[in-house]
Structure 1
Amino acid sequence: MNRTMITAQNTLTQLQKQMDIVSHNMANIDTTGYKRREASFTDLLFQQFNNQTLPQLETNRLTPNGIRQGVGAKLAQSQMVGSQGSVKTTERSLDFAFTTEGQYFKVLEQGENGSSIRYTRDGAFYLTPLSPNETMLVTGSGHPVLDENNNPITINGPIKEFSLQDNGRVLVSMNNGSTVEFNLGVVQVKKSQFFEQKGENLLGLPENFAELNTSMDEILTELNGPLRNQIAIQQGALEQSNVDMSKEMPELITLQRAYQFQSRSISIADQMMGLINGIR
């Protein structure tokens, strides 16, 4: 196999990964609070072939010395774009939308290895019964929504209505005339590149987070106490995804053409090798 085929094959696998990212963005265009991802590429290892053995022989040369021959490109990073999505009014009391970038709700996910705190921009919440007189606030996938102290939000008694107060405080009016208050758990994310998609529109830290030599304070800030003044939430609305189909579709077409070009390179290299091997 010659170098042309190796370079094309290496690039094909990386282009496929980028097409998967773009396709995933397009598939989630209607997912509440979804944040698109974009990929960046970098060169793989290359070799330097010098035209002259002595550097002084390259005096007054206008082009770079020698020839650099690479072996393809690789996907350097898949980074989440945290730009604000449009806000759609729903008039539903348990729908909450952030109106500023970087803020996330805290939810609890139960997994095989125990429970873990996850983060989401999807503010479409529901009530699930725990007992005849007790209900819990959950996400659309059934994960408990956490308060500022990382405790699941539970409410005792029949509920009349919900109303959002300042600083992410929710006031629950009961049928008996009493009221219950709780603070939604909210964090401000500073370095979103550390987060991984955990499925069901949830984000979380990687399993090897302890090996990254990074503290939680560098990645996010718990908006508790005086910091709750920074919370910006709107009730009766949901944030739409920040995926722009007019940008994703042309990018996907460009990637498909690049994929076809690399495939054609392999075919041409194979034909050239066939011609050379057929020389008598």
Structure 2
Amino acid sequence: MSRMMNQAAVTMNQIQNKLDVIGNNIANNNTTGYKNRQVEFSSLLSQQINNLNTPENAEGRLTPDGIRVGAGAGLGAIHLNQLQGSLIETDRALDAALTEENTFFQVNRVENGQEETVYTRDGSFFLSPQEGGVLALTTSDGHPVIGQGGPIEIQDGFDAVEFNDQGQLIVTRGDEQAAEAELAIVEAVRPSALEAEGDNFFTVTAEADIEEIMQVYNGEGSVIHAQALEQSNVDLSQAMTDMTAAQRLYQFNSRSISMGDQMLGLVNTIRS
């Protein structure tokens, strides 16, 4: 395979990865709290070819001797766009939308028998019955939501329950109202250290220090918007434009392979 065909083949594989990311963004256009992924490309390693017949004439040259031939383009990084999504009123008591960028709810997830703390922007919560007449605040998949004193649990037998704008769970029992729990909201000091996982969760990269990345949110004013949910921040029109551009790049590289194959076939037919 010629160098040109090899470069095109490598680049096509990486463009396919970009198409997968864009397709995932489009598929999650209506997912609560979803954050858009953006792909960044970089050049792969290049080979230095020394083609100078008279190196002495290269005195004063600022660039390396010879020419450098690249091996195509590769997926450099996938960045999370943490811009705030639009809020939609739901009038549901256990819905809560975060009002600041880079802030997250904490969730306790059990994975392969081990507990770990994950983070989400999805504030659609539910009350799940537990033993002893206790109700636990959970996600839609049943993962416990973490509060200031650990997983949030309240005693059954209340008349109404709702969040206030400080993230406190206000429980009404008869004529009395009290804040029986409070969400433990954290802020990502370095959002670039977050990794997106399935089920709309985020985790901190393995090499990063969690205590340095995720800190207790100490902002003033409203922490959440009660009875509302944050929508995905995917710009559907931009995503479709990016997909079209990526498809065109894929076609151009595919065409390069076809032309390279035709040129090799032409060379093989030449007789001396």
Give the alignment's TM-score, normalised by structure 2: 0.91
Aligned to 1:7: 7
Is the contact between residue 170 and residue 183 of structure 1 (CA under 8 Å) also seen in structure 2? yes
Number of residue-to-residue matches in the alignment: 271
Aligned to 1:179: 178
Aligned to 1:217: 211
Q: Does 1:193 align with 2:192?
A: yes
Query: Aligned partners of 1:34 and 1:80: how far apart in 2?
Result: 10
Backbone CA RMSD of aligned residues: 2.3
Is the contact between residue 168 and residue 228 of structure 1 (CA under 8 Å) also seen in structure 2? no
What CA deviation, in whole Å up to 9, does each residue of 1:170-207 have, x standing for no partner? 2111247463521101110122222222211111134x
Query: Aligned partners of 1:99 and 1:75: how far apart in 2?
Result: 32
**Gapped regions of structure 2 (runs ≥ 5):** none
Specify whether residues 147 and 228 from structure 1 end up closer, same or farther in structure 2 by C-alpha distance, changes over 3 A only. Answer: farther
The letter of the residue matching 2:105 is F
Is the contact between residue 164 and residue 226 of structure 2 (CA under 8 Å) also seen in structure 1? no
Mapping of 1:111-260 within 5 angstroms? 111-131=111-131, 133-149=133-149, 151-175=150-174, 177=176, 179-206=178-205, 209=206, 212=207, 214-223=208-217, 227=218, 229=220, 232-260=223-251
Q: Does 1:109 align with 2:109?
A: yes
Specify whether residues 218 and 177 from structure 1 end up closer, same or farther in structure 2 by C-alpha distance, changes over 3 A only. Answer: closer
**Gapped regions of structure 1 (runs ≥ 5):** none
Aligned to 1:73: 73
SS in 2 for 1:265: helix
Aligned to 1:275: 266
Q: What's the CA shift for 1:84?
A: 0.4
Query: Aligned partners of 1:230 and 1:180: how far apart in 2?
Result: 18
Is the contact between residue 173 and residue 180 of structure 1 (CA under 8 Å) also seen in structure 2? no
Aligned to 1:261: 252
Between stretches 175-184 and 257-266, larger displacement belongs to 175-184
What CA deviation, in whole Å up to 9, does each residue of 1:3-26 have, x standing for no partner? 011101110111011111111111
SS in 2 for 1:243: coil
Query: Aligned partners of 1:9 and 1:46: how far apart in 2?
Result: 15
